[in-house]
Structure formats: structure tokens, C-alpha cells
Amino acid sequence: MNQGVAITGMGLISAIGNNVADNFASLISGTTGISKISRIKTVHEHEIMVGEVLLTNGELEKLLGLPADSHSRTPLLGIMAAKEALAQAEIQDISEYRTGLISGTTVGGMDKSEQYFYDFYERDLHWNHINSLHAGDSTQKIADAIGLTKSFVTTISTACSSAANAIMLGARMIKSGELDRVIVGGSDSLSKFTINGFKTLMILSDTYNTPFDEHRKGLNLGEAAAFLILESDAIVSKENKKVLAYVKGYGNANDAYHQTASSENGDGAVMAMEKALKVAGITPSEVDYINAHGTATPNNDLSEGRALLRVFKENVPEFSSTKPFTGHTLAVAAGVEAVYSVLSIQNNVIYPNLNFKTPMTEFNLVPETQLKYKEIKTVLSNSFGFGGNCSTLIFTKEA
């Protein structure tokens, strides 16, 4: 049987909470973080709904003890989540073992770059942020903030599967013996660039998103940061670490079907799920709950639903999408949902697929619509990105 990689810490900030505990409380109470845009001035603020972290950049800097206007929003969110994860894992000396940081993002420091664009002639106002646009800068700022200065630090940007691929790479590096500990996940913030881009794709909803519903209108964008601490068996044994869950399986596939759309029959999703099951050494019948990608776009939910039927046949496990709580957090989606998957295992709970009313006409798949308690040993979590980059993670209670 395949050995899993231990998860010993988690950190999360999203539209439904500034830490893991607050997020879980919102999930259990059915409290959504979706609302009209309040933090960004945009012509679309009355047209769409999003999942915003309500803390301002200034408030985040104050909480983190950072100088004013020193960071773009993406690393600020990332530092919050990474520090929470390190604290839960009780890591005092981050350099004690070979430790890496793998972070996913799509927009990087775009929010500050936008300010620079508007205030171009006031060069001393935001000029220091123009070099912070690229994705790697956000990761480096997170690494600097947690004291990780001489180790493996890298960024993954595979659209909405970025954090899944970060988790996957981290697990593989521990298994191969290249690192002893890896901080994995991602951070993404809302920006006008992102809002305008998705508005152009015509897949944004003007109301609460409704995954797997016949009348779904599109997604709600969200912002978040989520990190998990992965550690080797050697560290867990030596330090008698408490293990929250294990990364048991993972799979990635790129069907290259379309620049933004998923394969009509879920080809990439099927390959990713089958690979993850094979790596985990389990059968489809051993999956207790599926945290679906479930973006509430016409294309994704049809594609993912068909993929689930192809992999699980007539025995599709109970499934739900948690994006009605947080919005679609892009590069961080798999990180957010990895934390939720671990919490599902720890608390033996299946989260409700909020806002669902009418089954899709193409197949008879109905997500779990109520909070449900049952024994959860294995959770499969899907994340699919633009360009057909599909990733699946499997989390288990036991190694």
C-alpha cells in the first residue's frame, strides 16, 4: 500500500474567515462570503458578486507587523495563511530541516501594478511595486516573511489548478527525499484585471453561484490564501508530530482541449482522477466524499459531472462544491479545498452545496445540499485549470 505524506499544519484566509477555525465555523453554519464588490472601485461593482476578504491591505500589514504600503495584497494574504500553518505545526526553527515553499498564484502583485498605472505621473507613490507584478515575487515575499531564506522556493501558475500542483510537487519531493518539509498552497487577490478578464469570458454570475444546478449562471470570483505543512515520516516520528491527515494520492493531466473550456466529456478530469486513485492505491469505492471543482459555469459542471460518472459509474460518492461559500479563488482553489477536505476527515462531515435547486438535464447527479455527518476516511478533491490542466488530490485519515 502506498505511504502517504503527513499534513501537520494548515493556514487559511478567505471570504468566510481569517483563519482555519473561522472558515470551518462558516462551513458548518452555512454562512456564505459572497456579496457585491466593496473593496475595489470598478464599473462592474453592481453587476457581479464576489468573495472578498474583508481586511484591507493596511489592516493586514498591521496584523503582520509590516511597514505600510510595503506589499501587494497577494503576499499579504499568503503570509497570513503561511504563518498560521507554521504555528499549528509547532515549527519553531524553519531551517532545522530541509524545508521548501511551493506557492501557486495567477495574478501576483497585479493590484499594486494597477495603482501604478493610474498614478504613473506620481512616480514616488507606487513605483516600488512595479517589479512586484510577477508571480515569483509574491512567493519570495512570503518566504522572506517566514524566514525561509536558503532553501527551495518556487512558484506554480497553472491557472485554477496551481495550488493542487503545488501540493502534488511538494508531496513528490518529500517522497523522493529531496526535502523533509514543504509549505504548499497558494495566494491570490482580487483585482480589476481579473474581474475584467472573466467578465470578457462571460462566465461571471450576477447572483450567488449555483454549482451543478440546471439554471447555473456562472462563477463568483474570490480571493484567498491557503497553505499546508507537509512533513516526512522521519520528522513525524522523531518529533512525535500530530498528523491531521495524509496526502495519499495525486494526479495531473492536460487534455489541451481548449484555452479556457474543459473537455465536453471530461477527458482531462477522468485522467487526473484515475491517476490519483492509482497513486493512492485505492479503488473508486473507497472514496467517501468528493469536494468537486464545481465552478457553476455551464461548461465545467457538465464536464466534471460526466467525468465523475465515467470514473465512479453508478456509484458516485456524495459530493459538493464549496465555492458558493468562498467564490472561485483561482490559483488558491485547491489549497482552500485541501484544507476543507482535511477538516472533513477530522470532523466526519460533508459540506452542503449551497444554492442548489434543480438537477441538470444531462444526467441524474445531485450534490449533497445539507450539512451531513458520517464517517469520512478518504476525500477526493478536484481542481481544473484553463488550458485543460486538470489535477486531483486524495486525502486520507491513515497513511
- Give the span between the Cα atoms of 178 and 155, in whole angstroms: 17
Identified catalytic residue from 71, 126, 129, 328: 328
Catalytic, 129? Answer no
Catalytic, 160? Answer yes
- Give the span between the Cα atoms of 153 and 22, in whole angstroms: 29
- Give the span between the Cα atoms of 46 and 330, in whole angstroms: 21
3: left (phi over 0), alpha (psi -120 to 50) or beta: beta
Detail the DSSP E strand segments found in 105-243: 152-156, 181-188, 221-222, 224-231
Contacts of 296 (CB under 8 A, 6+ apart): 205, 209, 210, 211, 212, 213, 216, 217, 218, 219, 220, 321, 323, 324
Identified catalytic residue from 160, 215, 258, 390: 160
DSSP string over 84-127: HHHHHTT-S-TTSS-EEEEEE-SSTTHHHHHHHHHTTTSHHHHG
Identified catalytic residue from 71, 126, 293, 390: 293
Element (H or E) spanning 390, and its range?
Answer: strand 389-396
Q: Find how far residue 389's CA is from the centre of its chain.
A: 15
Q: Would the CA dihedral through 287, 165, 10, 36 be positive or negative? A: negative
Catalytic, 126? Answer no
Strand order in the sheet with 34-36: 34-36, 49-51, 221-222
What amino acid positions are annotated as catalytic residues? 160, 293, 328
